Chains A and B, each alone.
Chain A
Amino acid sequence: MNRRTLVLAAPVVLVLLWLVLYPNLFVLGDSFSEGGRFSLQHYRRFWTSRSEIGALWASVWISAASVVLSALLGVPLAFLFARYQFPGRRLLGALAAMPVLLPPLVGTISFLFLYGESGFFTRGVQLLLGLESPPWRLAGPGAILLVHAYTMYVYFYLFVAAGLSRLDAGYAEAATALGAGRWLTLRRITLPMLAPALGGAALLVFMTSMASFSAPYVFGGGFRVLSTQIYASKLNGEGGLVAVEAVVLAVASLLFLILLQRYEGARSYTGASKGLGPAPRSAVSRGWMLALGAGAAIAFLLLPHLTVLLVSFVPEGSWTTEFFPPVYSLESYRSLVSSPDRLVPVLNSLRMATVATLANIVFAFAAGYLLARRRFWGRGAVNALVVLPWALPGTVLAIALASTFAVHQPWAGQFVLIGSFAILPLAYFIRNIPLVTRAVLASFQQLDPAVEEAAASLGASRVNTLWRVVLPLVLPGLAAGALLAFVTALGEFVASILLYTHRTR
């Protein structure tokens, strides 16, 4: 490793070790110790407790069911938009990917307004059937699944749509030429070739569901999954048990991540030729019908989010029994801006997200350059550490930070940050390391190293090359990553609730 690489690698590795690896090891250590000594007591408690095992099992089956439901929504939608041509196809196709951009908490709240006991949809059904009481309560596993399917179908939709557009039309044409009908071609050719996309989406949904906190927190009630169980144990002050739960959740997530990579490695059909996806079939006679169907589907899928927007214009207390709110005004927005009590949390969110995102930009630029351009010993480990915060559920990360930064032991790299302004931006920063770094890394990888060499051969200094050539060229990737990180940081709920103190809300 030459000196320049070392100078660049040292701070990157230090940040990763201290902020990513160390806190997680800390939790691992906590789970194995009692009163400062090695002990399996917490694990024993976990495995013998009905409620703990119940929560683990609930996490697993909720996640599996979320995969099935998301696939049922996302895959047909992908086929519809990738294979058929109809008016408004592009706009509706883009809208279908929207829910992935919204913070989970907003998505969850929106369901309350729509399908909750006094939600639009519930009232509609109640009015229609003339019932005395709401036809259902939005609670328990069913509600959680509904929210999951609604928000996570996007993974299937995006993966399968991308897979379909890459799929060489030649394969399907070859099958047709051999006399296969449409169903046979779909079953024997198209779907098996989409296996990587389907597998990738399935495991992503699984992992997201395992990590999901907002939906189980809001709708779970007595029904606990692992992530809400962690929160409950934390409130009860059972530190050792919390650590065990976090470890179990982390191990489950990492297992599925490894599975995901194995699966992607084992099956890849890139196609022998540089073929193109089939042109979308033009259904001239049915075009408007398809457009109408697709529009209705998208409207249905985006309904929860539209509801939040609508409700935000309703003055507090003015909407009681009517189907539609009787009054609309900007009062909620006005009070948000005018009363400090409500404005401060918003400003706090913005401020913390900004600080975290700026830190992410600086780190990602250094780490992205290092990973893309330098060969050094331990590069694979750095790469793995960069991805780790994404593989671990937010709950685990928050627990790790809470236990690492609750005591003051500077020589052990521990400082009291709980209760200070720094802890939430720090959590957001760590959480978004993978997102921003991968975005920058991708830009660097697309950037031909010869371009930097060209600048050097023309006499440009390193700083000059960085400023005038490299930065402008990776800026789009950096900006996209940073924007997503900012939005995610604004909407981060689980870290905030677990690390929450009165001063930083």
Chain B
Amino acid sequence: MAENVVPRVRVPRDAKAGDSVSVRTLISHPMESGMRRGSDGNLVPRQIINRFTCAFNGEMVIDVEIHPGVATNPYFQFDAKVNQSGSFDFTWYDDDGSVYTETAEIAVA
């Protein structure tokens, strides 16, 4: 398991029904591409987050398949349509099998 993996998400606190809200997510992760050589001259084994998903009240917003071309601390910003109050569930899948999750609430008037 990679060290110091901290997911961070930002969604608006409230919104109007039917609004499209901007969601920003970031997870601190080295995203070792498997192509870099360490100080001993050997390739550092690949270890990246290979999938990220976001769902709102169980309904999929986005599902991203990630390759080593995504930068360290993968960041994603996208829009979600909210029709009622509820929670966002964010999930990141690591190469080593670890799963990191985060949730965020939004109140819809």
A-B interaction = no
Binding site for B on A (CB under 8 A): none
Q: Which residues of B contact A (CB under 8 A)?
A: none
